[in-house]
Amino acid sequence: MKKITSLLLALCFSTLLMAEVEFRITESNASAIPIAILPFINNSQNIDIAKVVADDLMLSGQFRALEQQQLIENPQFANQIKYATWRALEADYLTIGSVQASAPGRYELYIKLFSVADQKQLLSLTLPVLEGDLRSGGHYIADKIYEEITGIKGIFSTKIAYVTATKLADGIEYQLLVADADGKNSQALVTSQQPLLSPKWSPRGDKLAYVSFEKGNSAIYIQDLSTGGRELMSSYKGINSGPSFSPDGKSLALTLSKSGNPEIYLMDIYTKKLKRITDSWAIDTGANWAPDGESLVFTSDRGGKPNLYQIDLQSLVAKRITFESDYNAGGSLSPNGDYICYVQGDKNNYKIALRHNKSETSQQISNGPLDETPTFAPNNNMILYASKNKKGQGILISTSLDGATKNQLIVSNGHIREPSWSPVIN
């Protein structure tokens, strides 16, 4: 039992404390694209939309927004732009935005994107928003600018889920929260006096599966974000862990020890009917789906040490896919299937590794020594994982795939763990 607990819960968080969260850029990409995000005209509301847009773009690691003191001109129309000024400031792109009240509590956001080198307009967008959605409007604008320049969809309108806890006089209060991709607007979905673990998004981004110990033993629930309702999916005797939605949203992959040994099962979400996938003397756990829904990547010590295996769901033949280091676990596939991110450990130093599936090679992209639970952004370009800083504080870190850009999501006076990045939510 000690071995099982070690493998399944090795990445479990320590005592946590609930607080407001904030992303901080800690390692910048030297080749980031310089862009001037001018203040939005008539932006008298409490939300600084230009800052939301600039912060989003910088968090991607692919852009560097000019500092406020560098914005020495403030054109309001295209014919007022002096491109020579922005070339001198080494800006590749420039935006002009404004906010206009359209009705009580309603606004229209306007944004235009210009190429400084080509001296032409690339994007013009009008976005109606409610007063309470101004920040969301900024995220949407950042998505469109990012896509226009890079050709890749932005992820600033997506969400992240994570777990926190507050130390109270009579124990610890755990919470499962959902926030914007920049860490703002966090909302608690579940509060419990017992640990909450392993949140995973449904493919439509409308539900979260997670593990709760509120009844003493582990149990798996699905939480509906729109209604607030939840459903108990699995509470068998022993281990109930590692829920993961299938790409079509109809099944859960999960780990159960109801037969006496931790094995991978599939559960039909509507009927709760189970299909056993693995049958091994070893510990099989932490299954995640391939994007095509035809295979699972999971962790097993059937080779003597924890490694990643991929199992075909038709033949049920498992193939080992990691061979480096003493510990390889927690594999998560990118939405396009090109990569697997996972935890690679050697002599108690745990880092995030990235496997390139086409070449079957891997590289470490984090610094360690206590990095865990990586999750991909839905555009395949970033990874979010949990770690600890030099003070021992639990934090989240987002990184580019090459590890060149890193941002820390920090809570004041506390810790956070167990991140999960949502799909693009329409």
pLDDT in tens, 256-288: 999 999 999 999 999 999 999 999 999 999 999
- pLDDT of residue 333 exceeding 90: yes
CB distance 289 to 253 below 8 Å: yes
pLDDT of residue 1: 42
Closest alpha carbon to 396 in 199, 183, 243, 175: 183
CB distance 275 to 292 below 8 Å: no
Looking at every residue in the chain, the average pLDDT score rounds to: 91
Q: What pLDDT band is residue 426 in, cutting at 50, 70 and 90?
A: low
- All structural domains of the chain, each given as residue ranges with its CATH number in brackets, are 2-24+159-421 (2.120.10.30), 31-150 (3.40.50.10070)
pLDDT of residue 113: 98
pLDDT of residue 6: 40
- pLDDT of residue 230 exceeding 80: yes
pLDDT of residue 20: 56
Query: Using CA atoms, how far apart are residues 303 and 282, in angstroms rounded to an integer?
Result: 9
pTM for the predicted model, two decimal places: 0.91
Angle among Cα 54, 60, 62 to the nearest 5 degrees reads 90
Pairing of strands 230-234, 219-224: antiparallel
CB distance 200 to 420 below 8 Å: yes
- pLDDT of residue 104 exceeding 90: yes
pLDDT of residue 21: 65
CB distance 308 to 298 below 8 Å: yes
Query: Using CA atoms, how far apart are residues 85 and 82, in angstroms rounded to an integer?
Result: 6
pLDDT of residue 405: 84
Amino acid at 51: K
Interhelix angle 134-150/49-59, rounded to 10 degrees, is 40
Angle among Cα 153, 145, 58 to the nearest 5 degrees reads 90
